[in-house]
Amino acid sequence: MATTTTTHTPDQPASQPAPPLPSATQVALRYERSDAQGVGCIVIDVPGQKVNTLSVALMPKFETVFEEARKDPNLRALILTSGKAAGFIAGADIGDLNGVASADDGARLSRQGQQAMDRIASFGVPTVAAIHGDCLGGGLELALACTARILSTDPKTKLGLPEVQLGLLPGAGGTVRLPELIGLTAALDMMLTGKNIRPDKAVKMGLADMAVPHGQLMAAARQLAADLAAGKGPKEKKQDMQAEVQELLLERNALGRMVVLREARKKVMQQSKGLYPSPLRILDVVGKGTYEAESKAFGALLMTPESRGLRHLFHCITTLKKSDGPGTAGVQARPVTHVGMLGAGLMGSGIATVLADKGVTVRLKDLTHDAIGHSLEYARKVYGKARRRKRYNAGGVHQRMGRLSGGIDYAGFGQADVVIEAVLEKASLKHQMIEDIERVTRKEAIFATNTSALPIGEIAAKAKHPERVIGMHFFSPVEKMPLVEVIITDKTAPEVTKTICQLSRKMGKHVIVVRDCAGFYTTRVLAPYMVEATFMLIEGYAIEDIDEAATRVGFPVGPITLMDEVGIDVGQKVLETMRAHYSGHMEFPPDNISKFLDEGRLGRKANKGFFLYEDGESQLVKGHKVVDETAYDHMPNGRVTRLANLDEMGERMVLALTNEAARCMEEGVLLDPESGDLGAVFGIGFPPFQGGPFRYVDRYGARNVASRLRALELRFGKRFAPTKILSDMADTGGTFYGKGA
């Protein structure tokens, strides 16, 4: 953080200190007068917030502080930096966006942002953004308006324009300034993906001018600012010949830009199927290249239901960051430095890999040394990929691998703070694991089970300390999936719940806490979706049509692909559990899956499933997975397939899932609708733009959803009968989030 310096002005002797400036807790923006080199500094430090955000209320303060800087007679260059330890600027204030009532108001808000950035760009002396930590959204747009950008090399420092993830586009000049700075192709990649850029890459691509260690940031920024004031700016980086040719052909002429935009549009449509309007509007706006086009599109996107759904997810994320489950408010989480991992398969390997990446030592146990070796190799590959992306160097890989060890006995488990099991889905095996752990670990160790469907209460039934048994449900692949579902029983101690929630967040995961039942929340609501897909198979619909129906409504992958990826045998075991507990209101298809298992058709891992595989890789024709036609031999209609009604098929799957989610709320499995929405989207792929099943009900209205369910019930049976909570809400006009949500 910059410090106030003593300066010499015509009205003040050099020996007299400058008047004290207001503290960071009193003002959001403050000006630190120019030093001996004529370099002044504006410090952004929004009071009462851990991170800086750009709010409507902050905009007039920019004009005030810039006016103060203009009055500094010695000012030759200006630094903009943050007074926060946690970052530069994290983006716009989402509360401001949610309060916008019309597209015109949204466009007006965008123009205000553009004008604020234009004040920086046209300030009259060189400006330098000194950036440490998050520089995202409006924060990056502010930095783009500066003459130069200097970064700390700290791993916390990252730059990005993530507006597309909220169904929006950069609205403070970013769609114009970014392509001008780094070129059209690189700018589109940033805006269409919302990806974060690390310091070394930012410098390489021209997004920043230099990167220095955090401790040197302000000194280097002052030197850079002084150099710019003297007309000596940073040296231009030489492009290689290939880059120069690409820039000439694609960036500097209208035809080339048209080709880039056309190809980008094809890719967007292929990935999003046109369900998300913001990427397409980004392409339109960048093609026009004007601030007016940007502000109009920003206002229009702000009013779309897709943006509202995605912003609702952001609300769920921020709300649940503060939630550690019932009874945990005054409870301290235990520190966790060492974890015992039972099971070194795919799931256990993923959990261990992420834990070690976050600084936790892990001891793995499995039946064979080969399994342990494969697990360690798995971790090495994940860390190697991160090294190639320059997240850390070879020393970082070595350090992380040093936190992992394993064997075929319980050596190293004695001092485990937490033991996580990821063994086969057998209650008897899990009972044995608990008995062993209670014998070999210190008595207060927490036992967390990663079961997919077995009730935690049943697993804890024979435990001496059931209060220390909890569910910790991960999703595969663990290093990529962002959710952990924490399942509590009526005996789980609040201290245990809070410890596991905090450990999950340490792993970089979003957390939902749910009450115990078979399948918990995520597996339970996924079951009707998968069951409906199975019914469609039996009815004679083509495998690829069922998947297409799901992806057309917004699921990232279809249910048949999901069966192959998870493992058909795993799905069968989960189905058995669900059938045993929920036959009262769910309907289940005849058991055709056992025929698949008898012939070793287990999915991708066995190179044999609903689709064709070779060495674990999908066989593709024109980018599409190839169906294994012999899978139809186990269907009642054989290879004869029905003409697909993709809209109806998609609705069946969405409503089956949504109805069961409502039942979980009705039964108290869910503690709040936010957990249900976040869990469905991040755990099982419910269409993100819908914001989750509860946001879906509120968007369309409970009366509409219940009516559609009753229509399906008449055609397909009791599994579509609307649950009581939906029927009651349909009668009363009730919502899950309130009228204005």
pLDDT tens column, 515-531: 999 999 999 999 999 99
At residue 739, the pLDDT reads 64
Q: How open is the CA angle 490-495-501, to the nearest 5 degrees?
A: 90
Distance CA 634, CA 593 (A): 8
155: Cβ contacts below 8 Å, ≥ 6 apart: 198, 391, 392
Average pLDDT over residues 175-192: 95
The CA R_g of the chain, rounded to the nearest whole Å, is: 28
Average pLDDT of the chain, as a whole number: 91
Instruction: Give the DSSP letter of residue 206.
Output: T
Burial bucket for residue 439 (CB in 10 Å: 0-12, 13-18, 19+): exposed
pLDDT tens column, 484-501: 999 999 999 999 999 999
pLDDT tens column, 84-107: 988 999 998 898 999 999 999 999
pLDDT tens column, 410-440: 999 999 999 999 998 889 999 999 999 999 9
At residue 414, the pLDDT reads 94
Query: Does residue 45 carry a pLDDT above 60?
Result: yes
Distance CA 209, CA 212 (A): 10
pLDDT tens column, 553-565: 999 999 999 999 9
Tokens of 629: 């036609």
Give the 3-state secondary structure of residue 404.
Answer: strand
Query: Does residue 641 carry a pLDDT above 90?
Result: no
640: Cβ contacts below 8 Å, ≥ 6 apart: 540
615's enclosing H/E stretch is none
At residue 461, the pLDDT reads 94
At residue 19, the pLDDT reads 35
At residue 690, the pLDDT reads 97
pTM of the entire structure? Answer: 0.90
464: Cβ contacts below 8 Å, ≥ 6 apart: 438
Give yes or no for a contact between 107 and 285, defined as CB atoms under 8 angstroms apart. no
- Residue 362 bridge partners (DSSP): 339, 404
Other CB atoms within a 10 A radius of the CB of residue 26 amount to: 10
Residue 622: pLDDT band by 50, 70, 90 thresholds? confident
485 flagged as catalytic: yes
Query: Does residue 129 carry a pLDDT above 60?
Result: yes
Q: Domains in the chain, please, with CATH? A: 29-303 (3.90.226.10), 338-518 (3.40.50.720), 523-668+672-732 (1.10.1040.50)
Q: Which residue has the tokens 């003040």?
A: 12
pLDDT tens column, 536-552: 999 999 999 999 999 99
Catalytic residue among 141, 438, 485, 495: 485
